[in-house]
Amino acid sequence: MKGTITFLKSFIEDKDVASITPSSKYCIRKLSEHIHFPEVKYIVEYGGGTGVFTKHFLDHLPSDAHLYVFETNDRFYEKLSAIEDDRLTVFHESVEESLDLLPPEVIGNVDHVVSGIPFSFFDWDLKVSILNKTYRTLRTNGSFLAYQTSGHLKKPLTAVFSNYHTDFCWRNVPPYFIYESVKKPK
Report residue 23's pLDDT band, with 50, 70 and 90 as the boundaries: confident
What is the mean pLDDT of the segment spanning 157-182? 95
The torsion angle over the Cα atoms of residues 152, 156, 158 and 163, rounded to 10 degrees, is -70
Residue 21 pLDDT: 65
Determine the Cα–Cα distance for residues 68 and 85; give it in Å rounded to an integer. Answer: 12
Beta pairing partners, 147:
178
Question: In Å, what is the CA distance from 54 to each residue of 58, 95, 117?
Answer: 6, 16, 14
pLDDT surpassing 90 at residue 97: yes
pLDDT tens figures, 38-71: 999 999 999 999 999 999 999 999 999 999 999 9
CATH of the domain at 43: 3.40.50.150
What is the mean pLDDT of the segment spanning 81-109? 98
Residue 162 pLDDT: 98
Sheet with 88-91, edge to edge strand ranges: 88-91, 66-70, 42-46, 110-115, 138-148, 176-182, 165-169
Residue 4, amino acid: T
Task: Specify the pairing of strand 66-70 against strand 176-182.
Answer: unpaired
pLDDT surpassing 70 at residue 139: yes
Residue 1 pLDDT: 52
pLDDT surpassing 70 at residue 134: yes
| Structural domain count of the chain | 1
Residue 61 pLDDT: 98
Residue 173 pLDDT: 85
Report residue 174's pLDDT band, with 50, 70 and 90 as the boundaries: confident
Among candidates 141, 156, 145, which has minimal Cα distance to 109? 141
Determine the Cα–Cα distance for residues 103 and 29; give it in Å rounded to an integer. Answer: 29
Residue 25 pLDDT: 94
pLDDT surpassing 80 at residue 93: yes
Tell me which residue range forms the domain holding 8.
2-182
What is the mean pLDDT of the segment spanning 119-142? 97
* More confident of the two residues 131 and 121: 131
